[in-house]
């Protein structure tokens, strides 16, 4: 019985870990609030991360087997819900663990300069009510180069495939929706240790793959 309880507890914690924004470090937020737009409802950080003015990396840890992922930015000290510039258009990610975007650049027409403050918001789907949201507060820095902060790592088997669902990762199609997604901007590349998959039909809302694992391992624990 102890083995069964331990197995179920471990699996429960795995499935509830939707995703984490590792770099830049995300705002402190309760995981159960991650479906709240914007920024999991978390307050602006008291400290900001210096982020390269000429483009940097965005490191994530994924807790779902498949996720649609989108990256937005809002300028200012406390932009509220004004996330209306796309840094990374929605992509389909597959696999658990480390996932990263490198060379992410802010559109030149925003006129961002050294010392400006902003907030990066990463959106994934992975929730029955819509999107999941994490934010990181940054200060653009010309003294930091991309090479000094692009420490991208990838979990084994992580890959991206063609995404053909709604334009926003939270499953909406309108740029005026609460996703904060609007016209924008750059199309930065993501790289990994695994070769990119050929385009596939990853349409609709990706499922949370941990549910299948839970059923299999719970049955195994009961059999023991």
All domains of the chain in start order, with CATH: 2-223 (2.70.50)
Is the pLDDT assigned to residue 12 strictly greater than 70? Answer: no
Q: What's the pLDDT band for 146 if we cut at 50, 70, 90?
A: low
Burial (0-12, 13-18, 19+ Cβ within 10 Å), 46: exposed
pLDDT for res 32:
79
Q: What's the pLDDT band for 17 if we cut at 50, 70, 90?
A: low
Mean pLDDT (the chain) is: 73
pLDDT for res 64:
87
Is the pLDDT assigned to residue 139 strictly greater than 90? Answer: yes
Lowest mean pLDDT among 50-59, 108-117, 146-155: 146-155
pLDDT for res 21:
94
Closest residue by Cα to residue 121 from 69, 64, 186, 192: 69
Percentage of residues of the chain with pLDDT beyond 90: 42
pLDDT for res 29:
79
Contact 69, 131 (CB under 8 A): no
Element (H, E) at 219: helix 210-223
């Amino acid at each position: 019985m102890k083995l069964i309880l331990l197995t179920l507890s471990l699996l429960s914690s795995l499935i509830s870990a939707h995703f984490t924004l590792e770099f830049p470090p995300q705002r402190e937020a309760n995981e159960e609030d991650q479906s709240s737009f914007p920024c999991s409802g978390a307050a602006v950080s008291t400290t900001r991360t210096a982020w390269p003015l000429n483009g940097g990396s965005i490191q994530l840890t994924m807790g779902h087997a498949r996720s649609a992922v989108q990256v937005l930015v809002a300028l200012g000290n406390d932009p509220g819900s004004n996330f209306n510039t796309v840094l990374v258009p929605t992509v389909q990610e597959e696999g658990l663990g480390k996932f990263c975007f490198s060379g992410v650049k802010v559109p030149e027409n925003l006129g961002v300069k050294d010392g400006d403050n902003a907030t990066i918001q990463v959106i994934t789907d992975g929730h029955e009510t819509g999107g999941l949201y994490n934010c990181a507060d940054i200060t653009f820095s010309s003294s930091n180069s991309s090479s000094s902060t692009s420490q991208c790592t990838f979990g084994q088997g992580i890959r991206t495939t063609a995404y053909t669902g709604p334009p926003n990762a939270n499953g909406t199609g309108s740029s005026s929706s609460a996703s904060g997604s609007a016209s924008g901007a750059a199309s930065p590349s993501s790289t990994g240790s695994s070769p990119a998959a050929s385009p596939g039909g990853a349409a609709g809302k990706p499922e949370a793959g941990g549910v299948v694992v839970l059923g299999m391992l719970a049955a195994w624990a009961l059999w023991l």
